[in-house]
Amino acid sequence: MSKNRFAGSIPAEIGSLQSLQSLDLSWNYLMGGIASELGQLQRLEVLDISHNMLSGLIPTSFSRLQSLTKVDVSYNMLEGPIPDIKAFREAPFEAIHNNKNLCGNATGLEACAALMKNKNMHKKGLKVVIFTVIPLLGCLLGLIVGFFIFFQSRRKKRLMETPQIDVSIRWCPDGDLRYVDIIEATEEFNSRYCIGTGGYGIVYKVVLPSEQVLAVKKFHQTEVEMTSLKAFRSEIDVLMGIRHRNIVKLYGFCSHPKHSFLVYEFVERGSLRKVLNDEEQAVKMDWDKRLNLIKGVANALSYMHHDCSPPIIHRDISSNNVLLDSEYEAHVSDFGTARLLMPDSSNWTSFAGTFGYTAPVLSLP
């Protein structure tokens, strides 16, 4: 029955064939343990179960196979002691080799006592390694986690404490904003969140834990600009009160020696200048959209000049400061140079705005 691709375990029923003298099951796909019932084959003379995938111990019942003269159990995964009968003791090494861990009184095999000793020593050594390495790894992991928690808590504490040092913060009353959330969402204003750069600062896209998307304009920290910001604080409340479809909503303002910024609503397409410089988007800007854009900017300026009290003068209307949403609707933004026109105020003598977009007379000395 050799070389038949038999699979599964050896049937125990073979043990009932009392007159069987030769059993050759070699070169098959038999697996599992050897059935102990094979030890009942008292007349068996030849047994060949080589080149299979049999595993486990050779049954002790094989010690009753006194008629056995030739045996081959090679190329399996058998282990443990071989039966103490003549056929196994006198079997050539080729008939018992290539197994997992056979031992006993046969050519080429290690004595079972020595094998058990080596196995116990191996297990003992393995236990020592396990009980030594695992606690060390646990301690190392604990230290790493501890350091991570420590530095995270220090970072969060530092962020929480930062606004207490010479800081001015104003948020829109209906907004749910926190200084810490903005700093963490931008990883302290990491450059990968930058979506634009201007003369007054850098604009970052911020996604808060609430999934609200904002645009945060962080000012450059020059001495002149910081002085301008201090003068700008008194006008923030008025600017945050603006409600107009063509004006970017200002949610808040923070002035701090390390981070000073304005928080705006996020407008999808970015500045008009960016859209016009993009050939694909510029083509979509047909005359209807461009006329609607001009009307939107005019409506925004009219609202600031005539409907706000006191009136608000933007002073820097340019293609960089007009943002477009997904429907190409205009939104006036960037009030960094805006001023309130108080009834008793005089004209400004200092220039503010973008050259090329302001009245020429304003840039004259």
Average pLDDT of the residues of the chain: 80
CB–CB of 305/363 below 8 Å?
no
Question: DSSP for 309-325?
Answer: SS-EE----SGGGEEE-
The pairing of beta strand 270-271 with beta strand 261-265:
unpaired
Q: How far apart are CA 159 and CA 15, in angstroms?
A: 80
Question: What is the mean pLDDT of the segment spanning 118-139?
Answer: 70
Specify which residues 31 forms β-bridges with: 53
Residue 334 has pLDDT above 80, yes or no: no
- What are the b/e assignments for 290-300, b being 16+ CB within 10 Å? eeebeebbebb
| Tokens 């095999």 -> residue | 109
How far apart CA 339 and CA 345 sit, in angstroms, is 11
Q: Name 88's Cβ contacts closer than 8 Å, sequence gap at least 6.
A: 62, 71, 82, 96, 104, 106
Identify the band that residue 355 occupies on the pLDDT scale cut at 50, 70 and 90: very low
Say whether pLDDT at 364 is over 50: no
Report which secondary-structure segment, H or E, holds 251. strand 250-255
Cis peptide before 310 (omega within 30 of 0): yes
Task: Enumerate the known binding-site residues for ATP.
Answer: 218
According to DSSP, the residues that pair with 190 across neighbouring strands are none
Contacts of 308 (CB under 8 A, 6+ apart): 238, 242
Question: What amino acid is encoded at 57 in this protein?
Answer: L
pLDDT band at 19, cuts 50/70/90? very high
Q: Look at residue 218 in the predicted model and tell me its pLDDT.
A: 87
Distance CA 91, CA 282 (A): 90
User: Does residue 25 surpass a pLDDT of 90?
Assistant: yes
In the block, tokens 């990968």 appear at 192
Residue 351 has pLDDT above 50, yes or no: no
Contact present, 236 and 221 (Cβ < 8 Å): no
Instruction: Please determine, for residue 50, whether its predicted confidence score (pLDDT) is greater than 90.
Output: yes
What is the per-residue pLDDT across 293-305, written as a single tens digit (0 to 9) for each?
A: 999 999 999 998 8
Task: Kindly state the tokens that stand for 96.
Answer: 């018992």
Phi, psi angles (nearest 5°) of residue 17: -85, 75
Annotated binding-site positions: 218
Distance CA 37, CA 20 (A): 13
Residue 73 tokens read as: 């159990």
Query: Which residue in 176, 316, 325, 344 is the catalytic one?
Result: 316
Is the predicted pLDDT of residue 225 greater than 60, yes or no? no
Q: What phi and psi values does residue 90 have, to the nearest 5 degrees?
A: -100, 5
The answer to whether 246 and 297 have CB atoms below 8 angstroms apart is: yes
Q: What is the pLDDT of residue 78?
A: 94
Quick check: is 48 catalytic? no
Percent of the chain with pLDDT over 90: 35
Q: Is the pLDDT of residue 70 over 80?
A: yes
Q: Are 357 and 318 in contact (CB under 8 A)?
A: yes
Per-residue pLDDT tens over the stretch 315-327: 778 888 899 998 9
- Report the b/e string of 321-334 with b at 16+ CB within 10 A: bbbbbeebbbbbbb
Q: Is the pTM of this model over 0.85?
A: no
Alpha helix positions (H), the chain: 86-89, 112-161, 179-185, 223-232, 236-240, 272-276, 279-284, 287-302
The residue with tokens 């301008």 is 228
Q: Residue 170 — pLDDT band, cuts 50, 70, 90?
A: low
Over 80: is that where the pLDDT of 208 sits? yes
Distance (Å) of CA 23 to CA 14, 46, 79, 85, 298? 9, 6, 21, 18, 102
Q: For 265-273, what is the mean pLDDT? A: 89
